[in-house]
Amino acid sequence: MMSNVAMDTVVQDFPHAPDGWTKEEAIAFARGIGLDPGESHWEAVRALQEFFVRHEGPESIRSRELYDALEERFHARGGMKYLYGLFPGGPIHQGCQLAGLPVPAGSADYGFGSVQ
């Protein structure tokens, strides 16, 4: 059970987080898959959470449109190449897992840029 302070922090830092999502659990998950999340990871998590909130429902989200949205959002930093540096197992696949979101079908890419 989260304290009110912890809940306020999640709402403030991650305003579009799904119900029950905590940064602490996300950190534990990330470390379990070999990631050491920093502010760049959290920025991607916020972008993913916001994308999901702005669309009708997770079942309507397609990997391609999410890929395009992330490419556009992080274009100035190198787009998907930059994001694959953060999430070597795939920015959509690992990013959604870290963000507490359903992973869209077909988002696990074990080829392009992936090292896992």
Report the pLDDT value the prediction gives residue 116, as an integer from 0 to 100: 45
Report the pLDDT value the prediction gives residue 4, as an integer from 0 to 100: 54
Q: What is the DSSP letter of 1?
A: -
Length of the chain: 116
Is the per-residue pLDDT at 57 higher than 60? Answer: yes
Spell out the long-range contacts of 23-30 with Cβ–Cβ below 8 A and sequence spacing 24 or more. 25/100, 26/98, 26/99, 26/100, 29/97, 29/98, 30/98
CA nearest neighbour of 92 among 20, 58, 14, 76:
58
Q: How much is the pTM?
A: 0.82
Is the per-residue pLDDT at 41 higher than 60? Answer: yes
What radius of gyration, in Å, describes the C-alpha atoms of the chain? Answer: 14
- Domain boundaries along the sequence of the chain: 4-99
